[in-house]
Amino acid sequence: MNNQLDKILISSSQPEWHARLREIHAAVKSATYFEDGSDEDKQLDNILKKVSGRGGDAAITEFTENFDGAMLPSENFRVAQKDLAKARKGIDPILLKSIHQAIENVLKYQTEIFIGNKNTHSGIKYTPIERVGICVPGASAPLPSTVIMTAVPAQVAGVKEIVVVSPPRYKGSIHPVILGICYELGIDEIYRIGGAQAVAALAFGTQTIKPVNKIVGPGNQWVQMAKRKVFGIVDIDSIAGPSEVLIIANDKANPAWVAADMLSQVEHSPGSALVFTDSENIAQKILEELKIQIGRLSRKDSTNRCLLKYGAIITFENMEQVVKQTNFFAAEHLQIQCGAQSKAIAREVKNAGAIFIGDYSPVAVGDYWAGPSHTLPTGMTAKFFSPLSANDFIKSTSIIEYNKEQLAESAADIIRLAEAEGLDAHAKSVKIRQQD
Amino acid sequence: MNNQLDKILISSSQPEWHARLREIHAAVKSATYFEDGSDEDKQLDNILKKVSGRGGDAAITEFTENFDGAMLPSENFRVAQKDLAKARKGIDPILLKSIHQAIENVLKYQTEIFIGNKNTHSGIKYTPIERVGICVPGASAPLPSTVIMTAVPAQVAGVKEIVVVSPPRYKGSIHPVILGICYELGIDEIYRIGGAQAVAALAFGTQTIKPVNKIVGPGNQWVQMAKRKVFGIVDIDSIAGPSEVLIIANDKANPAWVAADMLSQVEHSPGSALVFTDSENIAQKILEELKIQIGRLSRKDSTNRCLLKYGAIITFENMEQVVKQTNFFAAEHLQIQCGAQSKAIAREVKNAGAIFIGDYSPVAVGDYWAGPSHTLPTGMTAKFFSPLSANDFIKSTSIIEYNKEQLAESAADIIRLAEAEGLDAHAKSVKIRQQD
């Protein structure tokens, strides 16, 4: 039954390998973006307009009923403090211990890479962003780790006001583990709203929700496209599409592990999974392992479909070609399973969200545990975007302080440069200070 | 004749002061944004669609003829190397010396604040963005300093490919000082195209122009709105509106200098100029000085109009109120002219693009000379955006490397967290590595 999957095995000597990558990239793009002027785009504009205009809270209630099927008057947007405490109590103590350690790991890593506390230059100062909104998915897959991976970096940066929005499930509730983690982190401003309407509420504010300065976190296409629209009104982290993994494997790789890693990404549904290798032999073995392991999954049909749409195992002539294409593809998650060579290959990689080096670093280590945020740039945007970190929750201010002598010394140059641009009043603002 | 200007003098005890600030902010916003779905917005979509689709070069040629009045076949988009050398030779040697020193100042400052060369953490690596596009205004006001303030930070970061676009003037030429500075900096990929079509070409590429990873630099509303639309396809620096200055002055300030500083900002036309003070007396004197100095300007009518639309001198009850409103307004340029108190006040400021401390630090010092980029966040976006710097031309990659023992030690926790989110394949990717 699974011979269909054979088509994801491609050699770079076959002309179609390039088309296959383009196809996957196009599929990823269309799962991320609405076309400007399309029906969805117009509907999104309408949501933003209604929430930002007179609609406000009433518009949020309307959209929450339509999209989430929950009847939610504005006085019920916010989760009550007692419900947070209750949710925290309900968490299995063993799970809570794991959560505590995950928080500690993230806190340690983010504090170490934070630049805001290391600056000594008098010409620049760093300040935390005052108020930040975090989108936490809730409907199809509740991801409590999202709270840890977004809120802890913000706390390390010194953000004072952190607001969490998460869409209501049946009867308007939010997954209790999400609420419990918020309680643990001292976050008490949580709204049971989601989708584009939550992004609009965070960006523009409503009668009951104060606007924020930055919106971060994952979400479906509506959330991401709404973030795109409000960029500039607020800052956003990035525009995230389907999750993706690229695995570089040579003949030292364990094909069963590589196959398991591919499946763990495809599980995000949609999620894309690629293997780049220099070995026909290992490529073949990974495919065989995939077929075996898919058979054991509960959701094998959807996984199969996802692999056919977003998967490929491509054999290149040599590792140099592999690295070149890896830099071109700029994957969100890059695993390198090439035995002792793995580290040297990692050094050659310029574009990737996160690199997982060696056989014992599956993506799940980064998703939950190691410390770097799992909010990573997708869809080739690792060429210019970075993983979310504490450094995204500060902004800088330039400091310029000239005294009388310094200005006198530079005055002629500054005046000359201003006049070359025809900006006379700029020149005059310097000249007038030379007359006393 | 200038009694009209009296209306910009407001006391915070008058109820209209707040409305006046809101009015200015709204004017700034509407000079920055197109409304979604408006005619301009649709026209912009059309430009982007035509350039990114089959149109490519031909669309660029068409729009350049329509908007810039220059007939430019694609083989003439790029400026020839010999024209760069010629432009460089044509620069007045005294001006060139000033340009050299300005470049050196920027280089020094940007190198000092650059974080990419200071990282020693094994869990993160910084890489320069490979290819960057810079928009340099050219039509109404050629701003050669823009090249210095954007390209030098990119070079400090290690960006290999820097592309400059600047709209053609009459007969398709670019201001020779812009070209000469490019030559000085070793930038040889310059296209004489501008507007939304240039942004589209940089983001999507055409037959003759290779796409970039990030687009920075100032420009009119079309350029800014086009940058907004392509954000995500590429990174952008920010969405910049009219330039603005806020001056905090107490009774130690020199009213003539404050007035000159306001006029130097308004000269950008549109440019906004505010004074916040705790002294009715100084407010009155600044207004009188404004009236005198405007009379001496060549463009007094347009300056007057601009001040009426975007200007205000507001007296608050005390300096605490001034600082509070300053943090709310988050100005692009903030000057503090409060004698010996200036530095202490600067420490209280959280939100500003650049702070100019003391009597001898007019904005022109930052525009041309001191080192920090003059590309700064406008329109209250200093609450979350930063001045352009070398740090904007790198991106980071997280590095995760666990060995067998480390994974074994954390496996139970990671599996527990994955299963709590219902992501079984994630859990399995860890479990499978515990079986050998």
Dihedral sign computed on CA atoms, order B276, B277, B278, B281: negative
Contact A274, A312 (CB under 8 A): yes
Tell me the angle at which helices A176-184 and A81-90 cross, rounded to the nearest 10 degrees: 100
Residue B436's pLDDT is 67
Residues of B numbered 127-156 whose beta carbons fall under 8 angstroms of chain A's beta carbons: which are they?
127, 129-130, 141-145
Residue A338 has pLDDT above 70, yes or no: yes
**For residue B54, what pLDDT is reported?**
86
* Residue A16 tokens, joined: 């179609």
pLDDT band for position A271 (50/70/90)? confident
pLDDT at B422: 86
Nearest to A332 by CA among A259, A279, A274, A286: A274
Whether the bond into A73 is cis, omega within 30 of 0: no
Note whether A208 and A278 are same-domain residues. no
Over the stretch A285-305, which tens digit does the pLDDT of each residue have?
Answer: 999 999 999 988 877 888 888
Please tell me the distance from the alpha carbon of residue A170 to that of residue A177, in angstroms, as a whole number.
16
Mean pLDDT, chain A, whole residue set? 94
Q: Give the pLDDT of residue B142.
A: 64
Query: What amino acid occupies position A142?
Result: P
Write the CA distances from A52 to A45, A199, A380, B241, integer angstroms: 10, 10, 32, 21
Q: Give the closest residue to A218 by CA, choosing from A178, A277, A257, A249.
A: A178
Answer yes or no: do A182 and A216 share one domain.
Answer: yes
Q: Looking at the structure, do residues A223 and A245 belong to the same domain, yes or no?
A: no
Residues A48 and A191 in one domain: yes
Span A112-150, pLDDT tens digits: 999 999 988 999 999 999 999 999 988 555 677 999 999
B251 and B130 part of one domain: no
Please give the residue range of the domain that contains residue A412.
404-434
Contact assignment for A145 to B417 by CB distance below 8 Å: yes
In this prediction, residue B143 has a pLDDT band, given cuts at 50, 70 and 90, of confident
Provide mean pLDDT across the span B187-205.
97
Domain-ending residue, one of A213, A236, A259:
A236
Q: Which residues pair with A395 in a beta bridge?
A: A127
Inside any domain, residue A329: yes
In this predicted structure, the answer to whether residue B12 has a pLDDT above a threshold of 60 is: yes
Q: Do B371 and A123 touch (CB under 8 A)?
A: yes
pLDDT in tens, A20-37: 888 888 888 888 999 888
**Same domain as B26, residue B64:** no
In a domain, A75, yes or no: yes
Give residues 68 to 107 of B whose Cβ lies within 8 Å of A.
Answer: 94-95, 97-99, 101-102
Q: What percent of chain A has pLDDT over 70?
A: 98
| B359 and B341 co-located in one domain | yes
Q: Indicate whether B1 pLDDT > 60.
A: no
Q: What is the pLDDT of residues A180-216, one digit of tens each?
A: 999 999 999 999 999 999 999 999 999 999 999 999 9
For chain B, give the mean pLDDT.
94
Pick the closest to residue A138 from A89, A110, A178 (CA basis).
A178
A26 and A137 housed in the same domain = no
Give a three-class secondary structure readout of chain B.
CHHHHHHHEEECCCCHHHHHHHHHHHHHHHCCCCCCCCHHHHHHHHHHHHHHHHHCHHHHHHHHHHHHCCCCCHHHCECCHHHHHHHHHHCCHHHHHHHHHHHHHHHHHHHHHCCCCCCCCCCEEEEECCEEEEECCCCCCCCCHHHHHHHHHHHHHCCCEEEEECCCCHHHCCCHHHHHHHHHCCCCEEECCCHHHHHHHHHHCCCCCCCCCEEECCCCHHHHHHHHHHECCEEECCCCCCEEEEEEECCCCCHHHHHHHHHHHHCCCCEEEEEEECCHHHHHHHHHHHHHHHHCCCCHHHHHHHHHHHEEEEECCCHHHHHHHHHHHCCCEEEEECHHHHHHHHHHCCCCCEEEECCCCCHHHHHHCCCCCCCCCCCCHHHCCCCCCHHHHEEEEEEECCCHHHHHHHHHHHHHHHHHCCCHHHHHHHHHHHCC
The verdict on a CB contact (< 8 Å) between A350 and B130 is yes
Q: Give the C-alpha separation, B334 to A400, whole Å.
A: 10
Tens-digit pLDDT profile for residues B28-64: 888 899 988 899 999 999 999 999 988 899 999 999 9
B130 part of the active site: no
> Which residues are CB-contacts of A80 (< 8 A; sequence separation ≥ 6)?
none
Q: What is the pLDDT of residues B87-137, one digit of tens each?
A: 999 999 999 999 999 999 999 999 999 999 998 899 999 999 999 999 998
Q: Considering chain A, what percentage of its residues have pLDDT values greater than 90?
A: 80
List Cβ neighbours of B435 (8 Å cut-off, separation of 6 or more).
none
* Residue A312 in tokens: 């490929």
Residue tagged active-site, from B184, B333, B348, B374: B333
What pLDDT score does B297 carry? 81
Q: What is the CATH number of the domain that holds B8?
A: 3.40.50.1980
Catalytic site includes residue A62: no
Q: Sign of torsion, CA B44 B45 B49 B55?
A: negative
Q: Domain end: A183, A216, A236, which one?
A: A236
CA separation for the pair A232, B228 (Å, rounded): 8
Residues A102, B401: Cα–Cα separation, whole Å: 16
Q: Which residues of B touch A375 (CB under 8 A)?
A: none
Residue A170 in domain = yes
Q: CB-based contacts of B26: which residues, under 8 Å, 6+ apart?
A: none
Residues A214-224 have a mean pLDDT of 95
Measured between beta carbons, which residues in chain A are less than 8 angstroms from residue B260?
425, 428-429, 432
Residue B300's pLDDT is 82
pLDDT beyond 80 at B141: no
* Cα-based distances in Å from A230 to A151, A200, B359, B378: 21, 8, 38, 16
Contact criterion met (CB < 8 Å) for B414 and A368: yes
Cβ neighbour number for residue A88 with a 10 Å cutoff:
17
Closest approach of B280 to chain A, Cα-based (Å):
23
| A121 plus A81 within the same structural domain | yes
Q: Which of A238, A364, A426 sits opposite B267 (nearest CB)?
A: A426
In this prediction, residue A436 has a pLDDT band, given cuts at 50, 70 and 90, of low
Same domain? B221 vs B299: no
Confidence at A159, pLDDT banded by 50, 70, 90: very high
At B139, is the pLDDT very low, low, confident or very high (cuts 50, 70, 90)? Answer: low
Q: Is residue B159 part of a domain?
A: yes
B189 within a domain of the structure (yes/no): yes
Residue with tokens 């909104």: A133
Q: Answer yes or no: is B388 within a domain.
A: no
Residues B187 and B296 reside in one and the same domain: no
Q: Residue for token digits 């070793």?
A: B186
Angle at A399 between CA A393 and CA A401, to 5 degrees: 170
Strands in B189-191's sheet, in edge-to-edge order, are B189-191, B161-165, B131-135, B214-216, B235-236
> Is B24 among the domain residues?
yes
- Residue A3, number of CB atoms within 10 A of its CB: 7
Count: domains in chain A? 3
Residue A18 has pLDDT above 80, yes or no: yes
Comparing CB atoms, the residue among A357, A395, A400 nearest residue B384 is A395
Residues B65 and B128 in one domain: yes
- B98 is written with which tokens? 């000033």
Residue B61 within a domain:
yes
B368 and A417: CB-CB below 8 Å? yes
pLDDT digits (tens, 9 = 90+) for A358-413: 999 999 999 999 999 999 999 999 999 999 999 999 999 999 999 999 999 999 99
Give the pLDDT score at A140. 58
Last residue of a domain, one of A191, A208, A236: A236
pLDDT digits (tens, 9 = 90+) for B199-215: 999 999 999 999 999 99
